Amino acid sequence: MTTPAQAVHAFLDALARRDVDAAMAVTDSLITVTIHPFVMKDQGTDVLRSVLADLVRAFPDLMISVSRVITTGDVVTALFKVEGTQAAGYAGAINTEKHLDIDQAWRFVITDGLITEVAAYWCQAQLYRRLAVKRYDQIAIA
């Protein structure tokens, strides 16, 4: 039986390899996805797949450095740094080939070895600052 921590490690390891399919393999088909910086709350694997695919496409040299994994029952919280060099538009920001490094926290709920909920927290101000965005109401203008 896969433990909650093992499921999350499998997810993060796959994301670190930029293998979206492998990351999605440990998620439930009805997963609830909350990406706070995108003001996104939705359900289903397509939603999360799209979030991960956008990230991997925009930062093809993506690196995930996990600093801490906290298990509290069926809930696992992972703290990690996302790094990469922008190679395509991301979150509305055009590609200026800037380097990104953002500390993030993702809270997972695991049921029967599969991730059934994920909530992601990071600061979009830090992200836009690194991608040379000047104004929130003109994100595509660098």
Its sign, for the CA torsion 97, 80, 129, 24, is positive
Closest contact distance (angstroms) between CB of 91 and other proteins is 10
Q: Which two tokens stand for residue 43?
A: 């359900």
The contact set with other proteins (CB under 8 A) reads 36-37, 39, 68, 70-73, 75, 77, 79, 103-105, 107, 119, 121-129, 133-137
Q: Tell me whether residue 4 or residue 84 sits nearer to other proteins (CB atom).
A: 4
Least Å distance, CB 26 to other proteins, is 20
The minimum distance between CB 21 and other proteins, in angstroms, equals: 28
CA distances from 28 to 10, 23, 60, 78, 142 (A): 14, 11, 26, 18, 38
